[in-house]
């Protein structure tokens, strides 16, 4: 299994709106071939920081989704006016070993 973890930091006080948007997300990715699951987490010590953890059967499935129209559609409910901390965005890729 392949895991992609992305992180961003809300810069303009819209953290609550972002978290609500994730809770009400349109679930477009849920039916994408190769998708397993999505978790959205935020550390206690920095609640403006959002981590998105996606699990895939393999990296090609993730790459096909990421480069496609479905990835763009997944961002339609981003709160208007959202600003992120510049250069704080990060994405990392992992091999899933076990749970």
Q: What is the pLDDT of residues 46-98, one digit of tens each?
A: 999 999 999 999 999 999 999 988 888 887 778 899 999 999 999 999 999 99
The vertex-45 CA angle with 11 and 19, nearest 5°, equals 50
Name the pLDDT band for 10 (thresholds 50, 70, 90). Answer: very high
Domain with 71, as residue range(s), is 2-95
> ∠ at Cα 67 (39, 7), nearest 5°?
35
The pLDDT, as a whole number, for residue 74 is: 81
Q: Per the structure block, which two tokens stand in for 58?
A: 């393999």
CATH label of the domain that carries residue 61: 3.30.70.100
Instruction: Indicate the pTM of the whole model.
Output: 0.90
Question: Domain tally for the chain?
Answer: 1
């Amino acid at each position: 299994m392949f895991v992609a973890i992305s992180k961003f930091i809300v810069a303009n006080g819209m953290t609550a709106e972002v978290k609500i948007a994730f809770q009400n997300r349109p679930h477009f990715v849920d039916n994408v071939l190769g998708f397993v699951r999505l978790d959205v987490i935020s550390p206690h010590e920095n609640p403006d920081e959002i981590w998105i953890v996606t699990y895939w059967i393999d990296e090609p499935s993730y790459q096909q989704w990421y480069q496609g129209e479905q990835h763009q559609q997944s961002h339609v409910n981003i709160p208007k006016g959202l600003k992120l901390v510049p250069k704080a965005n990060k994405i990392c890729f992992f091999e899933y070993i076990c749970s």
